[in-house]
Homo-oligomer: A and B are copies of this chain.
Amino acid sequence: MADQNTVESKPEQSLPERPKDAPADEAGAAGAEGDKGPSKSALKKAAKEKEKAEKAAKRKAAEEAQKKQQEGSDVSREDYGDLPMIGSLEYKPSGVKRVTLAQIAEKYNETTPFDEAGGVDVCFRAVVENARNQSAKLSFLVFRETLNTIQAVVAASDTLSRQMVKFAGSINAESIVLVHGLVKKTPEPVKSATISHLEIHVKKIYVVAKADSQLPMQVQDAERPLPLEGEEAKEDESGRPIVTLNTRLNNRVIDLRGKHNRAIFAIKDGVTALFQEFLRGHGFIGIQTPKLLGAPSEGGANVFEVGYFATKAFLAQSPQLYKQMLIASRFERVMEVGPVFRAENSNTARHLTEFTGLDLEMAFEEDYHEVVEVLENLMLYIFNGLRTKYKRETDLVRSIYHVDEFKLPEAGNVPRIPFSEGIQMLRDDGLEIGDYDDLSTPDEKRLGALVLKKYGSDFYVLDQFPLNIRPFYTMPSHTAPAHTEGAKDPNAGYSNSYDFFMRGQEILSGAQRIHDADFLCKRMKEHVTPCDPNSDGLRDYVNAFRYGCPPHAGGGIGLERIVMLWLGLPNVRLASLFPRDPNRVMP
């Protein structure tokens, strides 16, 4: 809504007049007639369309004639109808201030008295969630705006014609309307609307943008839960068939209209805003690292190749090397919110080929746990921000998926568990696992349950991962053989690295990085997947550490994962506006 909006509506001065001669949906008909047939193959189609349009035009002409005759006896004829497309007529300010449903709900709340009998004049634009003709003299509508809905009645009277009642009750769901009406208290709460104590008595109603009568799916379909992973529900509790995820994603524009989707993406933006807010307040500077790289740098697999003029380029799998180079450039503390690309052919509920990385890197003074502490505080800041500022959205989504409250550690003491202790907890629980084995997803979830039981927290840190399962740039622990010349197994032992978990699933991965060029070269060569420090993709990176670079550590967070795990969504795709996976790049 425009800035100058207030809840008061002025006396109506100069409403946009519906031109009598120009049919309101003229633009629609023009679509076919204005066709010049840009290609030969389209000519046949165009001819058909023309024929169709001519038929439609005839039909419309007849309807128009009938309508005009009726209008003669219609006291409400100026008070309803289809508006001409906004922008197609000269703009004449109406002078009527518009309000939002949220403003209405806030101002005329259950405790504030207002003129209940007469009602209060308001004007607003909203979506028609549904409309029905109760009788020839009475129609009901439900209007929607973001998370709010309100009921409206259109009742025939001396000043409101039956034609108008019929028009209002016949508006296609999902159409956009402009409404003038009176806000009144309802005799009893309206269960079907979120603003249940008020209703709108419609005085005028105009269609701003018409929706087709047949939509490929219904918004209500979008608002029902998907089956959880492993489940295979075909209908919900009330027996209605569940629209599959595939259908929803194919019709994402309608799917996203569901209230829970509004909530999911409000929360997603909230996480981003809280991330930036916290870090800017702690001296981090926002950066944009390149997504087009001249060579694959973080392992050749899983990278998308791009045609780049006469040569080729590759899509960045993370800002890792660049954010470190910026530490070497004296930036001290950097953060980035941006897309990352993974050409991994994984078709699971947890993988996307394009997602949003929340990345950060910082120089530290004496020990990498200074960075771990910043990261822990960052995550607690985000969780607490979500709990307070996005409670309504969180509750709305969790109510659909019946998810437990997310348990935060008491007094901010995040469990920081050495990897070796995590292994011991799993062994004590009966799992057979080696000291330096990577944790499988089920193992991680099992450990998550054990940690929740022991520490009472859904959020925790595993510290000191085995060196052999971390990238080449990871700083080995001071106890690791890698620090000794001529070590038998330079990949043995632990590393100064950590993962952060929510409900037993990883959301953040990070480490102290090697800031010494010679040691970095050594590690690149002896790593389990060796790489060449002189290769095109790594030369500049390695050299950066020859120019004097402070010790530093950082981490990368998967934004969609945080949203998924905070809300308990069954699929990470639900946390992406237009998700990409190996089989989907549209819409």
Closest-CB distance, A305 to chain B (whole angstroms): 5
B262 touches A330 (CB 8 A): yes
A289 touches B577 (CB 8 A): yes
A548 touches B209 (CB 8 A): yes
Closest-CB distance, A29 to chain B (whole angstroms): 7
A230 at the interface (CB under 8 A from B): no
A487 at the interface (CB under 8 A from B): yes
A61 at the interface (CB under 8 A from B): no
For the side of the interface on A, what is the size category?
Answer: 35 or more
A27 touches B174 (CB 8 A): no
In chain B, what residue has the closest Cβ to A172?
B548
A353 to B587, CA, bound (A): 24
A286 touches B306 (CB 8 A): no
Q: Looking at the complex, which one of B208, B288, B377 makes contact with A551 (CB distance below 8 Å)?
A: B208
**Residues of B contacting A293 with CB < 8 Å?**
585-586
A436 at the interface (CB under 8 A from B): no
A457 to B290, CA, bound (A): 34
B304 touches A308 (CB 8 A): yes
Q: Looking at the complex, which one of B215, B516, B577 makes contact with A547 (CB distance below 8 Å)?
A: B215
For this chain, the copies found in one complex come to 2
In chain B, what residue has the closest Cβ to A144?
B330
A361 at the interface (CB under 8 A from B): no
B305 touches A307 (CB 8 A): yes
In chain B, what residue has the closest Cβ to A355?
B288
A582 at the interface (CB under 8 A from B): yes
Identify which of residues 542-559 in chain A touch chain B, using a CB-to-CB cut-off of 8 Å. Answer: 543-551, 559
Identify which of residues 243-283 in chain A touch chain B, using a CB-to-CB cut-off of 8 Å. Answer: 252-254, 256-257, 261-262, 265-266, 268-269, 272-273, 276, 280, 282-283
Q: Looking at the complex, which one of B36, B211, B547, B578 makes contact with A290 (CB distance below 8 Å)?
A: B578
A536 at the interface (CB under 8 A from B): yes
A30 touches B354 (CB 8 A): no
A483 at the interface (CB under 8 A from B): yes
A93 at the interface (CB under 8 A from B): yes
A485 at the interface (CB under 8 A from B): yes
A315 at the interface (CB under 8 A from B): yes
B550 touches A325 (CB 8 A): no
**Residues of B contacting A476 with CB < 8 Å?**
87-88
A294 touches B1 (CB 8 A): no
Identify which of residues 27-47 in chain A touch chain B, using a CB-to-CB cut-off of 8 Å. Answer: 27-36, 38-39, 42
Q: Looking at the complex, which one of B25, B36, B127, B328 makes contact with A253 (CB distance below 8 Å)?
A: B328
**Residues of B contacting A370 with CB < 8 Å?**
2
A289 touches B526 (CB 8 A): no
Q: Looking at the complex, which one of B98, B475, B530 makes contact with A36 (CB distance below 8 Å)?
A: B530
A136 at the interface (CB under 8 A from B): no
A38-B532, A330-B146, A547-B253 in contact; A86/B366 too (CB < 8 A)? yes
Q: Looking at the complex, which one of B365, B512, B517 makes contact with A87 (CB distance below 8 Å)?
A: B512
**Residues of B contacting A3 with CB < 8 Å?**
282, 373-374, 377
A536 touches B34 (CB 8 A): no
Closest-CB distance, A270 to chain B (whole angstroms): 9
In chain B, what residue has the closest Cβ to A57?
B485
**Residues of B contacting A490 with CB < 8 Å?**
34
**Residues of B contacting A559 with CB < 8 Å?**
288
**Residues of B contacting A253 with CB < 8 Å?**
325, 328-329, 540, 543-544, 547
Identify which of residues 351-403 in chain A touch chain B, using a CB-to-CB cut-off of 8 Å. Answer: 353-354, 356, 363-370, 373-374, 377
A26 touches B485 (CB 8 A): yes
Of the stretches A66-74, A333-341, A448-456, A499-507, the one at the interface is A333-341
A105 at the interface (CB under 8 A from B): no
A419 to B345, CA, bound (A): 51
Closest-CB distance, A275 to chain B (whole angstroms): 11
A329 to B487, CA, bound (A): 60
A204 to B88, CA, bound (A): 76
A209 touches B551 (CB 8 A): yes
Q: Looking at the complex, which one of B268, B304, B326 makes contact with A577 (CB distance below 8 Å)?
A: B326
Identify which of residues 209-263 in chain A touch chain B, using a CB-to-CB cut-off of 8 Å. Answer: 209-212, 215, 252-254, 256-257, 261-262
**Residues of B contacting A209 with CB < 8 Å?**
515-516, 545, 548-551
A519 touches B256 (CB 8 A): no
| Known A89-B478, A209-B550; further 16 A-B contacts with Cβ < 8 A | A3-B373, A28-B518, A30-B519, A31-B518, A87-B478, A88-B483, A91-B369, A174-B548, A210-B548, A215-B547, A253-B325, A291-B291, A292-B353, A294-B585, A304-B306, A540-B586
Top 8 nearest A-B pairs by Cβ distance?
Answer: A211-B548, A540-B587, A31-B518, A294-B585, A256-B329, A294-B586, A27-B519, A28-B518
Write 16 A-B pairs (CB below 8 A) sorted by A numbering: A31-B521, A34-B490, A86-B515, A87-B496, A87-B512, A93-B367, A144-B330, A174-B547, A174-B548, A253-B325, A273-B286, A289-B578, A290-B577, A293-B586, A306-B306, A541-B587
